[in-house]
Amino acid sequence: MTTRFKLCSFTTCPWVQRAAIVLRAKGIEYEIEYIEREKDKRPDWFRAISPHLKVPVLIIDGKDSLFESNAIAEYLDEVAAPRLHPADPIARARNRAWTDYLPEFASAVSRCAYSNTKAELEERAREIPEVFETLEGALEKRGNDGPFFNGPDFSLVDAGYAPFLQRYAFTDRLYPLGIIEKYPLLKAWSDALLAHPAVRKSTIAAIEQDWRDNLVRHDRWLSTLLDGAPAAAAE
Ligand SMILES: N[C@@H](CCC(=O)N[C@@H](CS)C(=O)NCC(=O)O)C(=O)O
């Protein structure tokens, strides 16, 4: 019998998106249930399976559940082909080191987008080159032309970074930061990831609009730039 997978999510969550990308890259059918973002509105069934009340949670066959996007991605890679981790143990450990670095990268990108003032955004944008340069260095060591983190094969590292490179692109479209252009390998990697079918199909179609609505809901400074900046068309 085929295993049934269900993801619990908010409409916009880059960490859920990471799990959805892994499912898509493996061609696994899955269901996704969107729950209310407000803490006190998260349903009791969700509270029972998400110890820190965060999404994603992956429900397996309606009985087991997993939380934390990295644990979910690793689990999926163990149970479903094709293997996204490299076969070589050293290469695999290096890939895991890069997924360990993801929260630092994600935080630099997200903090910038969620700034409350222009001055805060500009100050936080100064944290981005360091993480971009770190990734550029990793891509330089790859020893091939990509297009993905390890080369031609899409990996768990790609699945992890794609949502945050996409959020950077959303931010850049509203307020051109001019940073990623200085890192040509990172830029090419980002372009390849954002064009990958598993990434394109990993969210609701109107993801950019939803991300923007979130800026408005939280009254972030970037929301003041929304007039006249059309979001990419939904697929
Ligand atoms: N380390 C977690 C991060 C997940 C996370 O931060 N999810 C956010 C939504 S994008 C969340 O559920 N936030 C709710 C909260 O913190 O109350 C993972 O990788 O799964």
Distance in angstroms (rounded) separating the CA atoms of residues 65 and 50? 9
**Measured in angstroms, how far is the CA atom of residue 160 from the centroid of ligand 1?**
14
pLDDT of residue 32: 97
Indicate whether 38 and 59 sit together in one domain. yes
**Measured in angstroms, how far is the CA atom of residue 30 from the centroid of ligand 1?**
20
Print the domain residue range for 26.
Answer: 5-79
Out of 54, 74, 217, mutate this one to test ligand 1's pocket (max ligand atoms within 8 Å of CB): namely 54
Residue 16: give its domain's CATH number: 3.40.30.10
**Measured in angstroms, how far is the CA atom of residue 158 from the centroid of ligand 1?**
19
Distance in angstroms (rounded) separating the CA atoms of residues 39 and 165? 27
Indicate whether 29 and 49 sit together in one domain. yes
| Residue 17: its H or E element | helix 14-25
37 class by beta-carbon count within 10 Å (0-12 exposed, 13-18 middle, 19+ buried): middle
Task: Please state the domain count of the chain.
Answer: 2
Residue 84 forms part of a structural domain: no
Residue 9 forms part of a structural domain: yes
Indicate whether 124 and 9 sit together in one domain. no
Highest mean pLDDT: which of 73-77, 225-229, 230-234? Answer: 73-77
Q: Is 39 in the pocket of ligand 1 (CB under 6 A)?
A: yes
pLDDT digits 0-9 by tens, 108-159: 999 999 999 999 999 999 999 999 999 999 999 999 999 999 999 999 999 9
Indicate whether 10 and 122 sit together in one domain. no
| Contact (Cβ atoms closer than 8 angstroms) between residue 234 and residue 130 | no
Listed residue (202, 194, 231) closest to 216, CA to CA: 231
Indicate whether 52 and 96 sit together in one domain. no
pLDDT of residue 229: 67
Q: Is 13 in the pocket of ligand 1 (CB under 6 A)?
A: yes
Out of 12, 41, 52, 55, mutate this one to test ligand 1's pocket (max ligand atoms within 8 Å of CB): namely 55
Out of 15, 65, 114, 203, mutate this one to test ligand 1's pocket (max ligand atoms within 8 Å of CB): namely 15
pLDDT digits 0-9 by tens, 207-218: 999 999 999 999
Residue 233 confidence (pLDDT) above 70? no
- Among 79, 109, 131, the domain-final residue is 79
Residues 6+ away with beta carbon under 8 Å from 223: 212, 215, 216
Indicate whether 122 and 183 sit together in one domain. yes
Indicate whether 55 and 156 sit together in one domain. no
Distance in angstroms (rounded) separating the CA atoms of residues 96 and 71? 11
Indicate whether 63 and 112 sit together in one domain. no
Q: What is the mean pLDDT of residues 45-53?
A: 97
- Among 46, 79, 112, the domain-final residue is 79
Number of H helices, E strands in the chain: 10, 4
Nearest CA to ligand 1 atom 10: 13
Predicted structure pTM score: 0.97
Indicate whether 111 and 206 sit together in one domain. yes
| Contact (Cβ atoms closer than 8 angstroms) between residue 170 and residue 162 | no
- Among 16, 49, 79, the domain-final residue is 79
- Please provide the average confidence, as pLDDT, over all residues in the chain: 96
Residues 6+ away with beta carbon under 8 Å from 119: none
84 class by beta-carbon count within 10 Å (0-12 exposed, 13-18 middle, 19+ buried): buried
Residue 232 confidence (pLDDT) above 90? no
Indicate whether 72 and 94 sit together in one domain. no
Nearest atom, ligand 1, residue 53 CA: 17
What percentage of the chain carries pLDDT values higher than 70? Answer: 98
**Measured in angstroms, how far is the CA atom of residue 2 from the centroid of ligand 1?**
28
Indicate whether 117 and 15 sit together in one domain. no
Residue 66 forms part of a structural domain: yes
**Measured in angstroms, how far is the CA atom of residue 36 from the centroid of ligand 1?**
13
Nearest atom, ligand 1, residue 39 CA: 17
Residue 235 forms part of a structural domain: no
**Measured in angstroms, how far is the CA atom of residue 67 from the centroid of ligand 1?**
10
Residue 232 forms part of a structural domain: no
Torsion of CA 3, 9, 12, 16, to 10 degrees: -50
pLDDT digits 0-9 by tens, 160-215: 999 999 999 999 999 999 999 999 999 999 999 999 999 999 999 999 999 999 99
Residue 101: give its domain's CATH number: 1.20.1050.10
Residue 211 forms part of a structural domain: yes
Nearest CA to ligand 1 atom 6: 54
| Contact (Cβ atoms closer than 8 angstroms) between residue 215 and residue 222 | yes
CA–CA distance from 30 to each of 4, 22, 54, 162, 220 (Å)? Answer: 7, 11, 19, 20, 33
Indicate whether 219 and 111 sit together in one domain. yes
